Amino acid sequence: MAALRSIWKGHLRFSLVTIPIRVYNAVDTAESISFNQIHRDDNGRIGYDKRCKKCNNLVENDEIVKGYQYEPDMYVIFEKDDLDKLKLKSTKVIDIEGFVDASEIDSTLYDSPYYAGPDGDVAAKTYGLLSAALRESGKLGVGKVVLRDREDVVMVAPKGDGIVLYKMRYPKEIRKIEDVPLVEKQKANKDELELAKSLIDSMSTNFGAMKLENKYNDAVREMVQAKIAGKEIVAIEEVEPEVVDIMTALKQSIEQAKGKKKPMEKVTAEKAVAKEKKSAKGKSTAKAKTKTKARKTA
């Protein structure tokens, strides 16, 4: 396998300790599927013109400036020289401002992952020391770096014997979960809650044992090969799952998870009520028979 190519070179610094590093993409973009937009008649690629929506004229790159809209159709114009005047810290240093517990970081703040590696043999020892210290302490480093003319927050975390950098979102960028419609605290039924916890326990596994595959990408690749071979594409009919009574669904799900492989019976709420009434009636009949037998014995 070919060695990874670095996309950034600089230093990782905390207090007076400075480590020369190189940064690499952690995500393999070759695994993603991408399409080109083409003209149906002649397979020509579709291009996009830069056109002013006000005068409808085509514009050149040197005619384009950045603008911030502060009122409808009113903009503050920023020339390149204006943005160059922003005095940000060095673009080649990731400054760790402190170390925090991983539990303090909300998962919604994590964005893109990158791998960091030592830049040269001399840096390798200090790099390894930081990785080991992060693992042993259970802490994560929080720092800042300037990338593409903007300052980003990065999380420095251990991964195996190395270090992974997570580009982070600023807390103010994240909306509140409470703003999602119908999200409010519901009082859980005690019996349903116990069954739900039992189902979770019975389905518990470890992440490494799970087969997480991009089935959509695989299906697209198969379709590409089928089209190249001139085969007919057959659509798969999607069946909408039926809503079932929660108690019945939980109980049968637990049985399936325990390996009984019993097919789930589709039980609607109405059927579940009828089933409970039948069960109650059976218990009443059995109780009456017991009382009659007891009288005869007496």
Shared domain for 160 and 194, answered yes or no, is no
Please provide the average confidence, as pLDDT, over all residues in the chain. 79
What is the rounded average pLDDT of the residues 281-298? 51
What pLDDT was estimated at residue 257? Answer: 76
Shared domain for 115 and 19, answered yes or no, is yes
Q: How confident is the model at residue 210 (pLDDT cuts 50, 70, 90)?
A: low
160 assigned to some structural domain: yes
Tell me the pLDDT tens digit for each residue of 151-204. 889 999 999 999 999 999 988 999 988 888 887 777 777 888 887 888 777 777
What is the rounded average pLDDT of the residues 74-100? 79
The domain spanning residue 117 has which CATH number? Answer: 2.40.290.10
Shared domain for 241 and 160, answered yes or no, is no
What pLDDT was estimated at residue 130? Answer: 95
Q: At residue 219, does pLDDT exceed 80? A: no
Q: At residue 268, does pLDDT exceed 60? A: no
Q: At residue 224, does pLDDT exceed 90? A: no
HEC string of the chain? CCCCCCCEEEEEEECCEEEEEEEEECCCHHHCCCCCCECCCCCCECCCCCECCCCCCECCHHHCCEEEEEECCEEEEECHHHHHCCCCCCCCEEEEEEEEEHHHCCHHHEEEEEEEEECCHHHHHHHHHHHHHHHHHCEEEEEEEEECCEEEEEEEEEECCEEEEEEECCHHHCCCHHHCCCCCCCCCCHHHHHHHHHHHHHCCCCHHHCCCCCHHHHHHHHHHHHHHCCCCCCCCCCCCCCCCCHHHHHHHHHHHHHHHCCCCCCCCHHHHHHHHHHHHHHHHHHHHHHHHHHHHHC
Tell me the pLDDT tens digit for each residue of 8-50. 999 999 988 999 999 999 988 776 778 888 989 998 998 888 9
Range with the poorest average pLDDT among 75-89, 130-144, 271-285: 271-285
What is the rounded average pLDDT of the residues 143-151? 77
166 assigned to some structural domain: yes
49 assigned to some structural domain: no
Shared domain for 169 and 210, answered yes or no, is no
Shared domain for 143 and 246, answered yes or no, is no
What pLDDT was estimated at residue 285? Answer: 55
- Residue 4 or residue 30, greater confidence: 4
Count: domains in the chain: 2
Exposed (0-12), middle (13-18) or buried (19+): which is 145, by Cβ within 10 Å?
A: buried
What pLDDT was estimated at residue 267? Answer: 46
Q: At residue 129, does pLDDT exceed 90? A: yes
Shared domain for 100 and 23, answered yes or no, is yes
Range of the structural domain that residue 241 is part of = 188-267
pTM over 0.75: no
What is the rounded average pLDDT of the residues 117-127? 94
- Residue 76 or residue 274, greater confidence: 76
Shared domain for 102 and 15, answered yes or no, is yes
Shared domain for 104 and 196, answered yes or no, is no
203 assigned to some structural domain: yes
Shared domain for 116 and 261, answered yes or no, is no
| Phi and psi angles of residue 68, each rounded to the nearest 5 degrees, phi first | -110, 120
What pLDDT was estimated at residue 262? Answer: 47
Residues 167, 111 contacting (CB under 8 angstroms): yes
Shared domain for 216 and 242, answered yes or no, is yes
What is the rounded average pLDDT of the residues 62-77? 90
Shared domain for 103 and 200, answered yes or no, is no
Provide the residue type at 145 as one letter.
V
Taking the CA atoms of 171, 172, 178 and 181 in sequence, report the sign of the dihedral they define.
Answer: negative
Q: At residue 86, does pLDDT exceed 80? A: no
